[in-house]
Structure 1
């Protein structure tokens, strides 16, 4: 669900704008840096979730390890980030549809408008109010569509490589032509030297954050799965592969397809779809852009469903978590968000989150130039709000890390999963997010570049987060949680890593992999009758003998030994490890 919700139109639509501002190398570096930030966040969050798989982790952790006011601000900011991202995602999908049909099939403009304003809202309602009613059908459909989505993205990358290599008829080999002229970096606002190149790279970070949004949704889904101690580390590894292959790989191809100074990148009235270098390049394959309809149209329809499903799911869960969080001053959200359907779906939260997404289709009826401005503003707002979400998670983990180090009797080395390179990796992500959030709107302060809409979109998310924190802090008089006051007992996992049970489990697993003792124990249980077990042991010189074994209630006392009735002595099974044999 996390891959399906984040790998979508934002990867391709936002890439053109980022390529225009930063150049190909700036675009690649931006995704690498943002990928490190995302990895630091998801690794830290995964460690906390495995140790404390509580009901509402994204609300519980900030309140337990930092301040209840941070939990209030975090929860509402996260929901705000989800619906703004939902709005931007619906907007760019509708704009893609209208642009593609209007450019490629001029006689079908009316049909394009009908598809943009009728088909997608109908599908939106279907997704939001039917498929969300059942978690199992939703998960199966998301898995199927995500697999198709990954195949589509991989196909686009391969098609781009063929295009760069000159594999299409009547087309020259491009290679690294655009990295030589106009160059690998863009000079931001025509500022010369390294200063202009650095500002170009810095401007890319806000764009690429929009593409990575939704990675944290994996935690909400993992809480409802079985054996999350094994699944979460695998999911974190999947995030690394997704960043390295899909994001860095696709952006490398995008930087080779189109020059960063191409006039259609960011051109007024060109349409939101023109912000994708893949579309710009593929339009020239079959003349009148038939490839655009085939590749882009199918990709949009495929990518829309898992993306909207995951964000509607997360939005409803966040609203319910705000209500259900046990707080001495009452819930953090109205009671209506706890209402469920017969099968457990949070239909009120789904409906409230979905309503804001439907507003996106109203905005596409205006001019394309205005549509581009709206998309840029909402994508920036969404990027900053999700960065504030990651900032809160990393701050919570840093406090958690120092609390564990100060707590007597807790050894972090006994955790099932430890986030690597801590606390330095989390400190790096925390510092980078702080700098990006503060200086993301630096271009409006340059001489002659002031824009009220850009200033508001750059800092309104930070303002909302700060006001929520201050209001709850003052009204409820919450206190900052000290290291010695942190609660490390409530909600801990059943196999508690804080008390060493997991370490014993690791030892048992390692022994089981090196011999057949566990198989012997299973056979012993299967062969039992009337509460007693009959264990068969095989001697080296004779046939299998049937002997009476220890009853189940006493098995833990003598776990590795059987009773030989003939000799009245205890002897281990033949395949028992030497270091476990009795003296």
Structure 2
């Protein structure tokens, strides 16, 4: 189907939505709710522009896993292990993204892939997928929020509870506003991530060229690291497996662009375009990032596994400090803080949309599918946000 047909289909879909709203207003709230919250069709508004969907697909959900978590994976697997792990995990996720993007283009529903599982496989499968996927991201709100508190500890010994409170409050406010505010915050956070990473690329090239490091660490201590002092191919293989787990955490959120299908103005065009940018996201942030780490940082550096959770454990900052550059670590730490908060913001929205998806298939009470006049499922948002309070239980 060509683009003009896609646009015509989308206009028909939006006109059907407006007709449903008119029917609901004329016949009462109960009938309006039952009319919309069924078969993957929610009462959210289609207000996300194509460029906003593309930006969400390119850098939405990128948090501390990329800037900090790669350090421990690098120490366990070595230069080649980290590089290979990111290529393999990225290739698998690329294939997955192309598949679900095709479904999202054909069936742009509020339920996204849980609804597809309910519709094409079995309601039990859709229910299990929505519960497990939604729970994963709602718990991640707490993890990213607490990560933000650890990042602030790079500058100050302020109690983490203060940072958690300051992080959670605007997160709830933005998700309760119109989807425009959420998309604008994601574009702003994504811009910070891209600019920061471009700066890290430039700095890494300068460090490598100035000190003539090259691929020194691929030769000494070697391309592979012995995992837990297990020598030989067995230790190398175990290190690679360990890096898979870190790489998987770093890649979390890469599929979140599909969740926008229920609120995108033109999903038939925006989703395929965003899916194409996933290739550049994997290559730019992850594969290139793994290569830069391997040529600027020694995998034997103890700071990589210090567990500080802030810039002290970031391989990029470790390389900058080793080069004697004093001002940049704080700037990078600030960018990591923005990334952590932005990731938590994305995860709150994803968790709330999973709750909404379950109401469209009548797998949860319909009260969770209620929306305000701006099309925001406020009950679902508050429910997902409450999981972020678990961050206060962290040490």
TM-score (norm 2): 0.80
Could you tell me how far 1:145 is from its partner in structure 2?
Answer: 2.6
In the alignment, is the contact (CA less than 8 A) between 1:9 and 1:89 conserved in 2?
Answer: yes
User: May I ask how many residue pairs the two structures share in their alignment?
Assistant: 340
Output one character per residue of 1:41-60: Cα deviation in whole Å (capped at 9) or x when no partner. 11111111222223412222
Distance 1:353 1:222 in 2: 19
Render the CA deviation track for 1:229-271: whole Å, top value 9, x for unaligned. 222221111000010111100111111221112222213x645
* Equivalent residue, structure 2, for 1:70: 125
1:221 to 2:257 alignment:
no
Partner SS, residue 264 of structure 2: coil
Note the alpha carbon deviations across 1:347-395, whole angstroms, 9 max, x for none: 22222222222332442xx4xxxxxxxxxxxxxxxxxxxxxxxxxxxxx
- Describe the superposition over 1:450-485 as per-residue Cα deviations: whole angstroms up to 9, x where unpaired: xxxxxxxxxxxxxxxxxxxxxxxxxxxxxxxxxxxx
* CA shift for structure 1 position 29: 0.7
Partner SS, residue 113 of structure 1: coil
Structure 1 segment 280-295 matched on structure 2, within 5 A: 280-286=318-324, 289-295=326-332
> Is 1:143 the equivalent of 2:217?
no
Over alpha carbons, which structure has the higher Rg? 1
1:90 corresponds to: 145
SS of equivalent residue, structure 1 residue 7: coil
Q: Deviations over 1:31-74 (max 9, x none)?
A: 11111111111111111122222341222211222222111110
Which residue, 121, 126, 133 being the options, matches 2:177? 133
Equivalent in the alignment of 2:36: none
Q: Confirm whether residue 203 of structure 1 aligns to residue 242 of structure 2.
A: yes
TM-score (norm 1): 0.55
Residues 490-511 of structure 1 show CA distances to partners (whole Å, capped at 9, x for unaligned) of: xxxxxxxxxxxxxxxxxxxxxx
Residues 258-407 of structure 1 mapped to structure 2, 5 A cutoff:
258-267=297-306, 270-286=308-324, 289-297=326-334, 299-325=335-361, 331-363=362-394, 366=395
Gaps of 5+ in 2: 1-55
Q: Does the CA contact (< 8 Å) of 1:90 and 1:360 recur in 2?
A: yes
- Structure 2 Cα separation of the partners of residues 309 and 257 of structure 1: 32
Aligned CA distance change for structure 1 residues 29 and 131 (closer, same or farther; 3 Å): same
Q: SS of the residue aligned with 1:198?
A: helix
Tell me the residue number matched to 1:152.
196
Return the alpha-carbon distance in structure 2 between the equivalents of residues 55 and 68 of structure 1: 16
Tell me the CA shift for residue 118 of structure 1: 2.0
Tell me the secondary structure at the aligned position of residue 214 of structure 2.
coil
More helix by share: 2
- What residue ranges of structure 1 are gaps of 5+ in the alignment? 102-108, 167-171, 326-330, 367-583
With over 3 angstroms needed to count, the CA separation of the structure-2 counterparts of 1:356 and 1:131, relative to structure 1, is closer
For 2:174 and 2:61, the matched residues in 1 are separated by 22
Of structures 1 and 2, the one with the larger relative CO (CA 8 A, separation 6+) is 2
Q: Distance in 1 between matches of 2:263 and 2:166?
A: 29
Give SS of 2:70's match: helix
Structure 2 contact 57–277 (Cα < 8 Å) conserved: no
Superposition deviation, residue 128 in structure 1: 1.5
| 1:33 aligned onto 2:33 | no
Aligned-residue CA RMSD (Å): 2.1
Q: Give the secondary structure class of the aligned counterpart of 1:343.
A: coil
The answer to whether the 8 A contact 2:142-2:389 is kept is yes
Distance 1:279 1:361 in 2: 28
